[in-house]
A and B are shown apart, each in its own frame.
Chain A
């Protein structure tokens, strides 16, 4: 059993501005724990989490691979989230390098085909497009959930980059909601990039039916 990261240093004031770990976060941790042996067996060097929020997920990844086992990079559009991410890493003795940026824009040119573990618990709640745009521009707490049309407007942008980011052995883990149309996501990743997918765990939490998807390259033979 890999312990849930210690978040006792974060307060209500932090959670007014940064996404507080919730059912989706915990399902993500459960999925990663279930895959821990598989992840370790790949000997990952670079882990990148998009939208790290409190930093809970990357810190957990750090417990799976060890504090010096890999580089833990995180991005978030919310500057408070980036700070909480570093603080959570520190609280749990996992060195995390957080970057305030959208998706992977500042890292992509240098990290092409270099990411061994890519993680994203995106803003997945369906909203109108305007709302998602405003949330993205503001970089505040609304950016944690406002996902635009089908809840997919932010996720779709990242999906376009996944193939360029993943190393040959790389794994991409994504949190998705039933309304995000999971079969369509998987079909698109297969058809456009030849990335195969699998639901590693799913759970109903209140009104949300949450899935953790794993994508990887397909090798023939």
Chain B
């Protein structure tokens, strides 16, 4: 699961890439919608370890505009909930329209935003939506999960050196080749 909380903790570590190597930009992100029990204490404890701007930007990249651009000084319950949703759920752009009807759930609609055109020439990793759906709509036992879709494919790109880190089966591949290790 590449949740935004994880995304907020990953930086490029390629050889010589030490500045402007965070946050990584999403490309072709096939994203999940996931619901979880809320734990406000965890959110409050986690916040000092996160970078607000990177979080807001990443949320916007995947269509969530709920967070204010500047980090508020007061963390009220409403903000904690918003934050929890942004951190722990990731909503889908390419799939949301498909998902809204067949399952009878009403999702907050997200506008499809254009992402930066790929700057490197790796092959596109997008997967047909149907494939993603059939893979992940298997019954999951969590009673409070109304729908769980995990990020399947996509990539994260370093804003500095443009190294591409693929996401496959919901797992970011941050491995570097021998000659790329700093």
Contact = CB atoms under 8 A, between A and B. Distances in A.
Interface of A: 43, 45-46, 67-71, 73, 77, 79, 82-83, 86, 90, 93, 95-102, 105-111, 114, 137, 139
Contacts of B105: none
Contact of B10 (A46, A69, A82, A107): A107
Interface stretch (B36-44, B107-115, B119-127): B36-44
Contact of A45 (B22, B46, B171, B181): B46
B90 to A, nearest CB: 12
Given A46-B49, A86-B1, A90-B140, A109 B13 contact: yes
B173 A110 contact: no
B10 A95 contact: no
B83 interface: no
A71 B171 contact: no
17 contacts: A45-B49, A46-B46, A68-B37, A96-B1, A100-B171, A100-B174, A101-B173, A102-B175, A102-B176, A106-B165, A107-B10, A108-B13, A109-B11, A110-B8, A110-B49, A111-B49, A137-B178
Contacts of A69: 39, 42
A110 B171 CA distance: 18
A68 B42 contact: yes
A82 B171 contact: yes
Given A68-B38, A86-B1, A106-B13, A99 B174 contact: yes
B75 interface: no
Contact of A97 (B1, B42, B176, B178): B1
B131 to A, nearest CB: 17
Interface string B34-62: 00111100100110010100000000000
Contacts of B49: 45-46, 110-111, 114
Contacts of A97: 1-3, 5-6
B1 A95 contact: yes
A102 B177 CA distance: 11
A68 B172 contact: no
Tell me the interface secondary structure of chain A in the complex. loop
Contacts of B9: 73, 107, 110-111
Nearest to A82: B171
A100 B42 contact: no
Nearest to B34: A95
A93 B142 contact: yes
B169 interface: yes
B170 interface: yes
B19 to A, nearest CB: 10
Given A43-B45, A102-B175, 13 more contacts: A67-B36, A67-B37, A68-B39, A69-B42, A71-B42, A71-B46, A79-B171, A83-B169, A90-B140, A97-B2, A99-B10, A100-B174, A105-B181
Given A109-B21, A110-B10, A110-B11, A99 B46 contact: no
Contacts of A111: 9, 49
A131 to B, nearest CB: 16
Contacts of B178: 137
B38 to A, nearest CB: 7
Contacts of A139: 175
A68 B45 CA distance: 12
Contacts of B45: 43, 45
Contacts of A70: 42
A93 B141 CA distance: 8
Given A107-B9, A111-B9, A99 B172 contact: yes
A79 B165 CA distance: 13
